[in-house]
Amino acid sequence: MAIGRHCSTRENNAESAERELRSFLVMQLLMTKMDETFDAVVTGVAPRGIYVQIDKYLAEGMVKSTDLPGDVTRSKQPPRWQIDQRTGALVDANSGRSYNTGHLVKVRILEIDLAKRQMNFTIADAEGRAAGKKKEVLPKLGGGGDFGGLGGGKGAGFGGMTGSQRRSNKSKSRDKRKKDYRPDRKKK
């Protein structure tokens, strides 16, 4: 039993060392390409910035919210980056510009810290994700339990009726509007 655990631990350590070495070598290579622009994908969103991965080298780093492009089309207000709890996107409430997981961006390397194995980027093409409509960042809907966050568990605004009750009421309403052609039930 102890031999198996020992082997698993050694294997995990070896895999970790391989990942660290690969990361170190890729960052060393990228230090020679600091002035280039890279295609990247947003892999994560946090209040302090977005995480991106360079497509060509599969190297990950962060674009801090202070380095994200500000409002370049409107009243030149400083950006107010917040997480939209409904969509999970990082949104500038002043301009409507947003970044979400899966968005494609062009980045330039800002700094590389080999000792910490960290890279910081800046957005190279500020107009690539042009500002949208100014929007209010909405708070997360609450009180819904496991019902998708739509009100206190009473369905999507239907006052606590179940689906079968709503369908039944709708059917009865339709029946009342129909003309009755049965001779034995004619009103006198």
Domains of the chain by residue range: 2-129, 141-177
Q: Residue 179's pLDDT is what? A: 79
Q: Residue 144's pLDDT is what? A: 47
Residue 153, phi-psi category: left (phi > 0), alpha (psi -120 to 50), beta (remainder): left
Q: Residue 148's pLDDT is what? A: 46
Report the CATH fold assignment for 2-129.
OB fold (Dihydrolipoamide Acetyltransferase, E2P) (2.40.50)
Q: Residue 173's pLDDT is what? A: 83
CA-wise closest residue to 65 among 86, 38, 94: 94
Q: How many CB atoms lie within 10 A of CB 22?
A: 12
Q: Which residues of 82-99 are buried (b: 16+ CB within 10 A; e: fewer)?
A: eebeeeebbbbbbbbbbb
What's the longest Cα–Cα distance across the chain? 95
Q: Residue 44's pLDDT is what? A: 92
Q: How far apart are CA 71 and CA 94, in angstroms?
A: 7
Which amino acid is it at 113? D
Residue 129 DSSP class: G
In the chain, which stretches have pLDDT less than 70?
71-76, 127-159, 185-188
Task: Express each pLDDT in 142-159 by its tens digit.
Answer: 544 444 444 445 555 556
